[in-house]
Structure 1
Amino acid sequence: MIFAKRKFNVCSMVAVLALSFSALGGCGSDSTSAPAIQATAPATAATMLYTSDAHYGIKRAAAYAFNGYSNAQQVNSAMVSVMNTMPTVVLPADGGVNAGAVINKVDYVVEGGDIANRMQSDPKNGYSTYVQSAYDSWKQFEAGYINTLKFPMLMLPGNHDVSNAVGYTKTMSRDGGITTAASGTFTNLDGSVMAFIYNMFVKAGTFNTSTKNAAQDSYSNTTYQTAANKIYYSKDIAGVHFMFISMWPDLDAQAWMEADLAKISSSTPAIIFTHDEPTTEGKHLTDKAGPTIFANKFENLLVNVSEYDTVALGTTADGVAATTVSVPFHTQGNMSTRAAQRTFVRFLQRHKNIVAYFHGNTNFNEFYTYTGPDNLVSLPVFRVDSPMKGYYTGQDDATVAPTPGVFDTNLLSYQVISIDTVASKMTVREYFWKTKAWGASSTISLAPRAL
């Protein structure tokens, strides 16, 4: 069930939220300086900014550039400069956490993955040569975010970051060296993003990132298939337990989270940040033929094994005998991940204190509820926009037109998360960073879920 889906910059388009959501009508411009009558956000509250899918290494098609900005460095830097002004911004009078107060302090900025774009040629987007190496993309991200933001960061990798480390269904390149994944040659993969994040948030000094080649080679395909170096970590912020999971809660991630959640009370609210939506994507699963086989177009990014489906081709109505074949199940839409989802649903049923789920991957602002394939759970979910590949704000593919009448760079947004541990509430607000205005907002309870 979808509660609020940001497609238009119109306040009346905010949908009414059901279950534990309440849609709060925060629209209109913000103030860059605090009016004298505004109160400062209380010290008991925490504020976080959330964005995803920076996609360093690509650029917008000319038709979709804005303010003269085209490449990922320019666009992300423009967004970061706005983020740095957020402590002076006044929250909307929408009835949510700290409504009408000056933000005053930003505790963290969260990046939800796809820091680097995949290192492949992309002629349809104007890239006859290969996208730059993951290492070069990381260094641009480091300069644009880590060294420029006034607030500490938390982050996790996305599917592009993982594919750069483990291989892909199409040919990739690292600094001009060609990697053909289907042939099993992985000598030119680049695990730099994985290595840097692992060193920063899991275990410092694990991988040598002192030089470009060392960083690229430190996260090889073989190493990444083991459970030892997965990127999972947690952090307690304002009485809430945050878990950062690469890149979807698959079976390995669930095992790690079981152990992690055992360290806190079952009444302590927990929140998952990951890259994929709760349904994940069928192509992200591991091919049952093997984790290094790419022929069936599975990307082998998650440990859950793919499903196949038996389908009938042809029809007897026109005199052609039906032929039964086995095809990769990821070609059958969202149904392709039912088995994987059910493992996650069972996990959620055991942990009612998981009260929210944040993700990127397919990017636009949306607040909705995940119920699982069998409607057995009710989990508030927050999907965030991308500065480069937003579905309505950043089409980088000039050959695929956005939905007519909706594409608008004025809708470029990130989310502002306000937590009040005393009231046991969290409000997530959409902030249009190009126009500096508030959009949709949603407040949820931090109490354990009923379902």
Structure 2
Amino acid sequence: MKRLSGLCLLLCWVTITCAQSSGVTHIVFTSDVHFGILRKSFRGNKKVQSDAVNKAMVAQINTLPGLALPADKGVGAGQAIQQIGYLAITGDICNRQQPPSPSASVSWKQFVNVYLHQLSLHAQLLLVPGNHDVSNAIGYYKPMIPATDNASLVGIYNLMLKPAVPKTAASFNFKKDKIHYARNIGGVHCLFLDVWPDGEERAWMEKDLLSIAANVPVLIFTHDPPEGDPAHFVNPFVPHTINKKTQYQNLLSDTLHAPPGDADEQTAFVKFLQAHRNIKAYFHGHQNWNQFYTYTGPAKNVSLPVFRVDSPMKGKESAEDEQQLSFQLISMDPANKRLTVRQLFWNVKPKKDGGRMQWGDSKTISLQ
């Protein structure tokens, strides 16, 4: 993981022009914001609430317009960010409501206060649920208080799908009211999925992709990595319930075929990717650190660029070293069919309210 020096960043600020490349669209990407838990330490304090940490990150995101992009030959390199159009969060909005974590209803209200009321960029939120959000709604194999609370699923559904009649805790049905939707952003078709591209999600994507030309680039945003997480599938053991013995969570539509792995389920997803070559990248959270890698599938017969992002609360590296806290900036140039993802360290000077952000790794891919 690399950081540009402070001098390099300063030079970028001094030498850029204020104009942004025509047609470039920017999306801030983060995941696993986990309202309802404590961070071990943050900016000189111990046991810091998730809403305080997320407020600090949002405050830094609010400063992005005017920041110079690094001279890395990526989309918009060396120019200033004019506007952030979107903020994508791929799940675990609320932490699982296992004591001492509060209920999903309490955590969801905290999320709304930070991301709907503190974000000053007029950026559109793009949300999907994570495994914690779904477990809160349907139950878990360890005790939770309350046993179920679907507040974050209801909230995400209403914000993203905007039904004519908003869902309530009583009317929301997890099996029927799937949180998946598409957005056309900067000439790119973006698919936002419920936890992982299981059988139901792939069927929905098949139908959705009929509406676009085969040469339109497609991006997938979801919670789990493309390999999936075997524990998230439906319990393969009769009576297929969520229980402490087997510890499957029943979050997806598919029953796991061959415990403990999920090669069969991955193979079905790989076939889907092979049938839709215009899917150009996959963005996810769940296991959180900054990583740009390639998914090849169990048989090594597919090549999909993947972007894994850090978490402000549960990052693999940043949980212990707050200077490693980062989010990603996705910059899309549809005219030239290019996309660049850049890592931004947002808390490099913890004793000075984070300090000026610093660029980390970057990767540019073709959208052709």
1:134 and 2:95 correspond? no
1:246 and 2:171 correspond? no
Amino acid at match of 1:282: P
Closer, same or farther in 2 for the Cα pair 1:100/1:36, shift >3 Å?
Answer: closer
Alignment partner, residue 68 of structure 1: 45
Alignment partner, residue 281 of structure 1: 229
Alignment partner, residue 415 of structure 1: 328
Amino acid at match of 1:190: D
Amino acid at match of 2:242: I
Normalization by structure 1: what TM-score? 0.75
Which has more radius of gyration? 1
1:168 and 2:146 correspond? no
The answer to whether the 8 Å contact 1:430/1:440 transfers is yes
The answer to whether the 8 Å contact 2:12/2:71 transfers is no
The answer to whether the 8 Å contact 2:18/2:66 transfers is no
The SS at the match of 1:305 is coil
The answer to whether the 8 Å contact 2:198/2:253 transfers is yes
Distance in 2 (CA, whole Å) between partners of 1:422 and 1:232 is 27
Distance in 1 (CA, whole Å) between partners of 2:208 and 2:163 is 19
The answer to whether the 8 Å contact 1:28/1:439 transfers is no
1:233 to 165, 174, 181: 181
CA shift digits 1:228-274 (9 cap, x unpaired) = 31001000011000000011000000000000111000100000000
Distance in 2 (CA, whole Å) between partners of 1:43 and 1:409 is 35
2:299 to 336, 351, 374: 374
Closer, same or farther in 2 for the Cα pair 1:198/1:291, shift >3 Å?
Answer: farther
Distance in 1 (CA, whole Å) between partners of 2:275 and 2:93 is 32
Alignment partner, residue 88 of structure 2: 110
Gaps of 5+ in 2: 349-356
Report how far residue 78 of structure 1 moved: 0.3
The answer to whether the 8 Å contact 2:16/2:68 transfers is no
Distance in 2 (CA, whole Å) between partners of 1:380 and 1:307 is 26
Closer, same or farther in 2 for the Cα pair 1:32/1:73, shift >3 Å?
Answer: farther
Report how far residue 153 of structure 1 moved: 0.9
Normalization by structure 2: what TM-score? 0.92
The SS at the match of 1:357 is strand
Distance in 2 (CA, whole Å) between partners of 1:134 and 1:218 is 17
Q: Name segments (4+ residues, structure 1) moved above 4 Å.
A: 31-34, 205-209
Report how far residue 197 of structure 1 moved: 1.0
Closer, same or farther in 2 for the Cα pair 1:346/1:148, shift >3 Å?
Answer: same
2:207 to 251, 259, 269: 259
2:311 to 386, 402, 405: 386
Report how far residue 152 of structure 1 moved: 1.8
Distance in 1 (CA, whole Å) between partners of 2:5 and 2:104 is 38
1:440 and 2:361 correspond? yes
Alignment partner, residue 190 of structure 1: 149
Report how far residue 376 of structure 1 moved: 1.0
Amino acid at match of 1:427: T
The answer to whether the 8 Å contact 1:32/1:89 transfers is no
CA shift digits 1:297-338 (9 cap, x unpaired) = 100011111234xxxxxxxxxxxxxxxxxxxx23xxxxx111
Distance in 2 (CA, whole Å) between partners of 1:32 and 1:386 is 29
Closer, same or farther in 2 for the Cα pair 1:89/1:37, shift >3 Å?
Answer: closer
The answer to whether the 8 Å contact 1:385/1:413 transfers is yes
The answer to whether the 8 Å contact 1:192/1:218 transfers is no
The SS at the match of 2:153 is helix
The SS at the match of 2:283 is strand
Closer, same or farther in 2 for the Cα pair 1:173/1:99, shift >3 Å?
Answer: same
1:293 to 227, 242, 246: 242
2:341 to 428, 433, 441: 428
Distance in 1 (CA, whole Å) between partners of 2:16 and 2:151 is 48
Report how far residue 33 of structure 1 moved: 9.7
1:49 and 2:8 correspond? no
The SS at the match of 1:35 is helix
Alignment partner, residue 183 of structure 1: none
Closer, same or farther in 2 for the Cα pair 1:365/1:199, shift >3 Å?
Answer: same
CA shift digits 1:32-72 (9 cap, x unpaired) = 995364242123110110000000000022xx333427110
Amino acid at match of 1:376: N
Amino acid at match of 2:205: M
Give the fraction of aligned pairs with identical amino acids, expressed as a percent.
Answer: 42
Distance in 1 (CA, whole Å) between partners of 2:98 and 2:130 is 16
Amino acid at match of 1:297: Q
CA shift digits 1:195-235 (9 cap, x unpaired) = 111112124254445xxxxx4x444xxx21x2x31001000
Distance in 1 (CA, whole Å) between partners of 2:96 and 2:81 is 36
The SS at the match of 1:173 is coil
Report how far residue 88 of structure 1 moved: 1.5
Closer, same or farther in 2 for the Cα pair 1:139/1:444, shift >3 Å?
Answer: same
Distance in 2 (CA, whole Å) between partners of 1:37 and 1:379 is 33
